[in-house]
Amino acid sequence: MPTSSRQFKDAIFEQFARLGKALAAPKRLELLELLSQGPRTVEVLASLANVSVANASQHLQVLRAARLVEAEKRGLYVQYRLADDQVARFCLSLRELAEARLAEVEEVTRSFLEEREVLEAIDGDELLARVRRGDVTVIDVRPREEFQAGHIPGALSVPLGELQSRLADLPTGRPVVAYCRGPYCVLAVEAVARLRKQGWEAHRLELGVVDWRARGWNVEVETRP
């Protein structure tokens, strides 16, 4: 135990640094973003993050040691989840700080989106008003499990892999707005590009469910049987 003020301060900042060390890997940040959408197994997280199961497991163990995530054994699989909503808010704040301080974030994003001609994005407030008026069809192109864990009210679950086969289900005569996990998720970017090639008026919503909830707006959860 610390016996002097200097030792006390050193001990406290050492604990704070534990979080910094746990977050000092891009893949761990991506895993946290994925878990902010809902609980997932190691195998699913590895696939979504494009890493091996062993690599994903090692990253998750580091995050667990820092008490940012929790694990639960379910049959043959281990399912991970964020420790609590505070972790999701912290990740959102970290992203916003990076956007404010690092010009490279905007440069990389603009280059990627301009190449795909989906640079513009609908603002959340505008979308909400248009949804309430029934002016647009909102589709959630994330995997169905993430939709079930929480989605924007009124959105239709149309996972990206099912988009082509589900076009007939979309109401005609109205623009389509696609969203996924947030401004740096490429699922909605791809969905908008595909829809436009098919002749639809399509737009991308930058906000994901975490951003939506952070603004104090309601999120719907689908109760599974």
**CB-CB contact of 79 with 40 (8 Å):** yes
DSSP 151: B
Pairing status of strand 176-179 against strand 202-205? parallel
The whole-angstrom separation of Cα 138 and Cα 180 is: 11
The position carrying tokens 């737009």 is 203
Among 139, 177, 180, 191, the active-site one is 180
Core vs surface per residue 110-121: b (16+ CB within 10 A) or e = eeebeeeebeeb
Contact 41, 77 (CB under 8 A): yes
Q: Which two tokens stand for residue 122?
A: 């609908």
Q: Active-site residue 180, yes or no?
A: yes
**Residues identified as active-site:** 180
